[in-house]
Structure 1
Amino acid sequence: MAADEILLHIKDSYYFEVPKWLWKHDHQSHSDFPDVWVKLDPGFQSWQAHEVYHRLAEDGAVGLPSEADFIHDYEHWLHEPGNHGKPITRYLTHKVDESLTSGGEALVWAERGVEVAEEYTVADYKALPADHQHVKWAPTKIEGYNQALSGKILIPQVFGGELRNLYQKEAGFAISKFMVIEFFVAVIITAVFIAYARRVSQGQLPKGWFWNLIDVFITFLRKDVAKANIHHGADHFVPIIWTLFFFILGCNLFGLIPWMGSPTGSISVTVTLAVAVLFIGMAAGARTFGVVGVWLNLVPGMELPTVIAIIIKPMMFIIELLGLLIKHAVLGIRLLANMVAGHVVLLAIMGLAVQIQTAVGVPSAVAWPVVIVILLGSVLLSCLELFVAFLQAYVFALLTALFINSETHSH
């Protein structure tokens, strides 16, 4: 697995990466390329900037600089760190913010320009004739773009999400790679649970290695995780423990599949899971102690004189509340850190192999043993990651049970 492919396991995107020869692109003109790719092209951005300026000039915008100054300032801004590939709308928004920051009034022409720019879309650009000055894409550019896109399977944005680039969304509900993987994990879990439930309801014993394996995990989680750690009503929380364990395990294992990725390597996923555990625990506590009682239960019972209790108990409540939030935040960060760490180490090891090959060209007698050792190390580390995938799913389920017990148990 190449180093850049390992990096894709960590970073979410709006495409799936496969070998280039499996998914080649052979677009012939600017109108054939995906909208998100055209949007990042300097030709489109230049065309949009010129159209916006001409429209502002026609409207008689007050304070509008000359066209040469407008275009030059925009192009200069694009070359500043962090601005590469940003459209004219972002530049105009920057001008408005800059004028307000300096203590002046917002530039009216820049505010109007943001609205005007929305009218000049990629679809309009694609409709331009091939001989237009802004769409005369050289064959070398088209070939380079095809090479860059080859191997990238863009995810259709069926819900109307608008992408800023292949890694960031602009607006709307955009479907990312991790979302697709999570959906498939959920579908697999649902199918397995339904099939398992049917077998149990019909009194069938698990037969075959797969159903025996599932039965071992389910029984272990019920007996040694849920019932061993949740003292009251453990059976009510067993389905939650099962779901969290198998969902996290599925997401972790997908990270070991080439050209896939691990959703648990994204902080948005792990923190969301931790927040879900917090709400589940507090809701269970509210059911046991009442809506107010669940919060009062955070403070341990202490027999204190009234004067001292008025001071100590509010302080204890704040400390316990902070502790509650911190331990759930750590729950999500722990999972994230463990899943990312393995991929980062793999990236570093595989990077050594790439650097050696680059330094010596064709591997020599000296380079071959080093490369072999690095590859063997990567294989062994992948085996360790497989163990960590199971371990972290178990740790998350165990801590979930402990937290639920703490929030439903009287202190």
Structure 2
Amino acid sequence: MAADEILLHIKDSYYFEVPKWLWKHDHESHSDFPDVWVKLDPGFQTWQAHEVYHRLEADGAKGLPSEDAFILEYEHWLHEPGNHGKPIKRFLNSKAEESLTEGGDVLEWAIMGEEVADEYTVAEYKKLPADHEHVNWAPSKIDGYNHALSGKILIPQPLGGELRNLYQKEAGFAISKFMVIEFFVAVIISVVFIAYARRVSQGQLPKGWFWNLIDVFITFLRKDVAKANIHHGADKFVPILWTLFFFILGCNLFGLIPWMGSPTGSISVTVTLALAVLFIGMGAGAKEFGALGVWLNLVPGMELPTVIAIIIKPMMFVIELLGLLIKHAVLGIRLLANMVAGHVVLLAIMGLAVQIQTAVGVPSAVAWPVVLVILVGSVLLSCLELFVAFLQAYVFALLTALFINSETHSH
């Protein structure tokens, strides 16, 4: 399995992947396929480019090249690095940017083309008959597309999000796989905590392995994380630490479920959590020392002559401020690195098993022991990942407590 394929399996996406036999696609024509898939089809892109050209020609755009030259330049642009699958609108945008300083006819028709490109949508393309020159999809092409889409459960976009492909959005608010998982983790946490709170409020002791397990974690976080590291008003921050711990743990554990994924393997998630910790700590510090005092508290108290203090203290403030930002950034990156590393190694090992089977065909007497060792290694590594899932949630909660203590106490 190539490195780029491994990364695609652990990054966020706009679909859930399951075995192909479990979610088969049997589309019969171009109009049956999802819009995001049709948008990437060369037939649609060529049709859209021709329609935009005809519109520009009808509107009397000055300096417009011949239709063949226009299409040829667009196709050549598509083959340039980073341009594969991009629509005609992006080509026209690049032409406009190139001509921005020079002006002239190219800039004019490129801007005109950008404005009209949105009129030739996938919906309009799907209305074309199957025998249209740009829609004449061969049975082999349809079968290939069905095979590529089988096993992919596309996430509906009810909020108007427009996708560029299965891994990137074009515009609007698009719901991704990690968002869905985070939502389910939040719901699970809410249900469990509400049920636990009701039991405690009614004076019921934890009964059963599940409630005893939850009680162990909650008690441990309160006593050995919050109270042991936050020296003043620790109880106020216990709910925050509980929420962070269980949310991160839930996201980590979802990464061990087949065909799911770990939201904490995305830098946007881990950095957002780190920013939340920063704002919580600084907000608590502002409540303790005042809006200005929380920043002045970054500088350790030093008895210095006024002349020296004028020079040293601003320098110390800058250093401490950078340190504050860096340690919170590292908080997010540490969680990301630990979660991604395990998935990459596991996928690489499983990819090696697939490569052996592909190279040998039916596993031979030599291949079987190798595949067995790989499978045993994958199981053991999965057990290690399970431990890391708990460990990283604990480390994040522990460091959060230490940071909050640092920002709410005078130095």
* Residue pair 1:89, 1:113 contacting (<8 A) in 2 also: yes
* Residue pair 1:20, 1:151 contacting (<8 A) in 2 also: yes
**Residue 53 of structure 1: aligned partner:** 53
Measure the CA separation in 2 of the matches of 1:235 and 1:241.
Answer: 10
1:270 and 2:270 equivalent? yes
Measure the CA separation in 2 of the matches of 1:141 and 1:123.
Answer: 20
Give the superposition deviation at 1:9: 5.2
Q: How does 1:215-226 map to 2 (within 5 A)?
A: 215-226=215-226
Q: How does 1:356-371 map to 2 (within 5 A)?
A: 356-371=356-371
**Residue 64 of structure 2: aligned partner:** 64
Structure 1 runs (4+) deviating above 4 angstroms are 1-9
Give the superposition deviation at 1:64: 1.0
**Residue 284 of structure 1: aligned partner:** 284
**Residue 234 of structure 2: aligned partner:** 234
Give the superposition deviation at 1:3: 10
Counterpart amino acid of residue 104 in structure 1: E
**Residue 299 of structure 2: aligned partner:** 299
Give the superposition deviation at 1:90: 0.8
- Which runs of no fewer than 5 residues in structure 2 stay unpaired? none
Q: How does 1:301-316 map to 2 (within 5 A)?
A: 301-316=301-316
* Residue pair 1:5, 1:259 contacting (<8 A) in 2 also: no
**Residues matched between the structures, number:** 409
* Residue pair 2:181, 2:263 contacting (<8 A) in 1 also: yes
**Residue 345 of structure 1: aligned partner:** 345
* Residue pair 1:284, 1:408 contacting (<8 A) in 2 also: yes
Give the superposition deviation at 1:173: 0.3
Measure the CA separation in 2 of the matches of 1:245 and 1:4.
Answer: 31
1:13 and 2:26 equivalent? no
- Which runs of no fewer than 5 residues in structure 1 stay unpaired? none
**Residue 81 of structure 2: aligned partner:** 81
Give the superposition deviation at 1:396: 0.0
Counterpart amino acid of residue 175 in structure 1: I
Counterpart amino acid of residue 16 in structure 1: F
Q: How does 1:87-126 map to 2 (within 5 A)?
A: 87-100=87-100, 103-105=101-103, 107-126=107-126
Q: How does 1:325-344 map to 2 (within 5 A)?
A: 325-344=325-344
Q: How does 1:113-152 map to 2 (within 5 A)?
A: 113-152=113-152
**Residue 247 of structure 1: aligned partner:** 247
Give the superposition deviation at 1:131: 2.3
Counterpart amino acid of residue 246 in structure 2: F
Structure 1 residues 210-245: Cα deviation after superposition (integer angstroms, max 9, x where no partner): 000000000000000001000111000000000000
Bigger mean CA offset, 256-265 vs 104-113: 104-113
For the aligned residues, what is the CA RMSD? Answer: 1.5
Structure 1 residues 333-387: Cα deviation after superposition (integer angstroms, max 9, x where no partner): 0000000000111122112212221222211111111110011000000000000
Give the superposition deviation at 1:5: 9.2
Partner of 1:153: helix, strand, or coil?
A: strand
Counterpart amino acid of residue 395 in structure 1: V
* Residue pair 2:96, 2:110 contacting (<8 A) in 1 also: yes
Distance of aligned partners of 1:195 and 1:4 in 2 relative to their CA distance in 1, 3 Å threshold: farther
User: Normalized against structure 1, the TM-score is what?
Assistant: 0.97
Distance of aligned partners of 1:192 and 1:233 in 2 relative to their CA distance in 1, 3 Å threshold: same
Distance of aligned partners of 1:142 and 1:348 in 2 relative to their CA distance in 1, 3 Å threshold: same
Measure the CA separation in 2 of the matches of 1:45 and 1:200.
Answer: 61
Counterpart amino acid of residue 259 in structure 1: W
Distance of aligned partners of 1:291 and 1:394 in 2 relative to their CA distance in 1, 3 Å threshold: same
Amino-acid identity (%):
89
User: Normalized against structure 2, the TM-score is what?
Assistant: 0.97
Measure the CA separation in 1 of the matches of 2:298 and 2:22.
Answer: 57
